[in-house]
């Protein structure tokens, strides 16, 4: 199908004619108006300009350029009354601001895909210009839909997004750990928004505000100073610690939101904010809760310890930290003793270097206390 094959139903034409009678339509390369004095219509698209049309003439033009009319109808009927962020999102899905109506219809006929976090969203169109949407995990892009679990209720996304592929709870909905193996098909424009907003709550609203130039950002200091109760202490953390938090929690490997908050309005953090499509406008509750722990940890003074380790043992400790930090422990094969973070290797190191009190190299954590 191409834009030329679009069919204009009697219902849509009637709605179009009635709307023009009420006032001119000026939308996405379509301009149409009715002159009440001359009782004639004007009809203009990027491809044609027709004036002095009778109703029959208008009908003929509308049929010839049906893609423009159905496009107007889609936005004014289906998206009518919806919040501007959702309208903006649905329009973004079909790259409305980048292509002319016929070019867009040609593309939609074979499917236009966008990615949103780990979601792969495809918009398609039928001969009446009605859109429908399919949504799946980006890693399933080339998988046949038949082999995926089919869903149609947007709220199913809640359960899909609660656990990762290994059945671990996902406290951060925007972590890059959505499980694969499911597909939502035949969604309406409203439903696709609902589904996306269930996988990634409030991302559409914040993305839209950003594109609109009205995103309100609460930087670290604003957020920290607002806290009360057990989180009231996190404003103790200095910029260096906050930078470490951002580097630990907010980079793309940990969270798909693009961090837009900084230490404060004047002080940018060096950590990478990421390149996600939707922004993060303030430190989230997970970061605030973790920051509380780091606040108490940062109150400790460093001490000098003396350990004896072979060079390989030192490297092994580094490898262990890396494996945990990069969530690779489950990927290290049981017999792969060449990996420092291999289980047997870790057990051997513990046997050798950690005493019965759990102290590395037999060195007490608090030397003064253990002397007592």
Residues making contact with ligand SF4 (CB under 6 A): 172, 174, 249-250, 255, 257, 259, 280, 283-284, 286-287
Min separation Cβ 167 and ligand SF4, Å: 22
Give first-to-last CA distance, the chain, whole Å: 85
Using a 10 angstrom Cβ sphere, with 0-12 exposed, 13-18 middle and 19 or more buried, the burial of residue 3 is buried
List the one residue from 51, 285, 312, 365 that touches other proteins (CB under 8 A): 285
Q: Could you give the angle at the alpha carbon of 235 between the alpha carbons of 229 and 237, nearest 5°? A: 130
Neighbours of 354 (CB within 10 A): 13
Distances (CA, A) of 303 to 58, 244, 306: 84, 21, 10
Residue 20 or 172: which CB sits closer to other proteins?
172
Residue 237 or 250: which CB sits closer to ligand SF4?
250
Binding mask 42-81 for other proteins (x = CB under 8 A): ---------------------------------------x
**Binding partner selected for residue 158 from ligand SF4, other proteins, none, CB under the kind-specific 5 to 8 Å limit:** other proteins
Residue 143 or 215: which CB sits closer to ligand SF4?
215
By CB under 8 A, residue 128 contacts other proteins = no
Residue 122 or 254: which CB sits closer to ligand SF4?
254
- Read off the tokens for 277: 């499509």
Q: Which 183-222 residues touch other proteins, going by CB under 8 A?
A: 197, 200-202, 204-206, 209, 216, 218
By CB under 8 A, residue 316 contacts other proteins = no
Min separation Cβ 245 and ligand SF4, Å: 8
By CB under 8 A, residue 163 contacts other proteins = yes
Minimal CA–CA distance to 82: which of 204, 219, 242, 183?
204
Residue 104 or 257: which CB sits closer to other proteins?
257
Distances (CA, A) of 205 to 196, 198, 262, 274: 11, 12, 20, 19
Min separation Cβ 205 and other proteins, Å: 4
Minimal CA–CA distance to 222: which of 212, 206, 204, 234?
234
Residue 101 or 175: which CB sits closer to ligand SF4?
175
Q: Are 271 and 243 in contact (CB under 8 A)?
A: yes
**Chain centroid offset of residue 219 CA:** 20
Using a 10 angstrom Cβ sphere, with 0-12 exposed, 13-18 middle and 19 or more buried, the burial of residue 184 is buried
- Which residue reads 């609109």 in tokens? 212
Using a 10 angstrom Cβ sphere, with 0-12 exposed, 13-18 middle and 19 or more buried, the burial of residue 37 is exposed
Residue 216 or 351: which CB sits closer to other proteins?
216
Min separation Cβ 233 and other proteins, Å: 16
Min separation Cβ 174 and ligand SF4, Å: 6
Residue 45 or 243: which CB sits closer to ligand SF4?
243
By CB under 8 A, residue 229 contacts other proteins = yes
Residue 110: enclosing H or E segment and its boundaries?
A: helix 101-110
**Binding partner selected for residue 206 from other proteins, ligand SF4, none, CB under the kind-specific 5 to 8 Å limit:** other proteins
Sites of contact with other proteins (CB under 8 A): 81-83, 85-86, 155, 158, 162-163, 169, 171-174, 197, 200-202, 204-206, 209, 216, 218, 226, 228-229, 281-282, 284-286, 289
């Amino acid at each position: 199908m191409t834009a030329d094959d679009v069919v204009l139903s009697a219902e849509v034409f009637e709605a179009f004619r009635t709307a023009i009678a009420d006032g001119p339509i000026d939308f996405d390369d379509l301009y149409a108006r009715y002159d009440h004095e001359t009782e004639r219509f004007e009809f203009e698209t990027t491809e044609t300009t027709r004036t002095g049309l009778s109703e029959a003439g208008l009908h003929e033009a509308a049929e010839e350029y049906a893609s423009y009319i159905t496009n107007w109808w889609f936005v004014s009927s289906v998206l009518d009354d919806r919040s501007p962020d959702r309208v903006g999102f649905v329009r973004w899905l079909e790259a409305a601001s980048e292509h002319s109506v016929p070019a867009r219809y040609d593309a939609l006929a074979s499917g236009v895909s966008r990615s949103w976090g780990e979601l792969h969203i495809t918009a398609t169109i039928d001969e009446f210009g009605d859109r429908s949407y399919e949504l799946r995990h980006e890693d399933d892009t080339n998988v046949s839909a038949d082999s995926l679990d089919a869903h149609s209720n947007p709220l199913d996304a809640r359960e899909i997004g609660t656990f990762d592929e290994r059945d671990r709870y996902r406290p951060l909905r925007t972590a890059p750990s959505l499980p694969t193996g499911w597909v939502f098909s035949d969604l309406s424009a409203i439903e696709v928004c609902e589904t996306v907003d269930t996988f990634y709550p409030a991302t559409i609203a914040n993305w839209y505000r950003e594109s609109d130039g009205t995103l309100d950002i609460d930087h670290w200091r604003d957020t920290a100073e607002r806290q009360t109760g057990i989180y009231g202490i996190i404003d103790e953390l200095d910029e260096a610690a906050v930078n470490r938090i951002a580097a630990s929690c907010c980079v793309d490997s940990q969270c798909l939101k693009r961090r837009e908050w900084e230490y404060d309005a004047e002080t940018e953090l060096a950590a990478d904010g990421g390149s996600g499509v939707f922004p993060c406008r303030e430190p989230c509750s997970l970061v605030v809760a973790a920051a509380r722990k780091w606040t108490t940890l940062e109150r400790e003074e460093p001490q000098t310890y003396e350990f004896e380790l072979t060079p390989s043992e030192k490297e092994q400790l580094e490898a262990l930290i890396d494996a945990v930090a990069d969530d690779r422990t489950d990927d290290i094969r049981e017999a792969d003793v060449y990996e420092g973070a291999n289980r047997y290797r870790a057990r051997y190191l513990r046997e050798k270097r950690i005493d019965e009190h759990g102290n590395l190299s037999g060195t007490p954590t608090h030397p003064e206390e253990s002397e007592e």
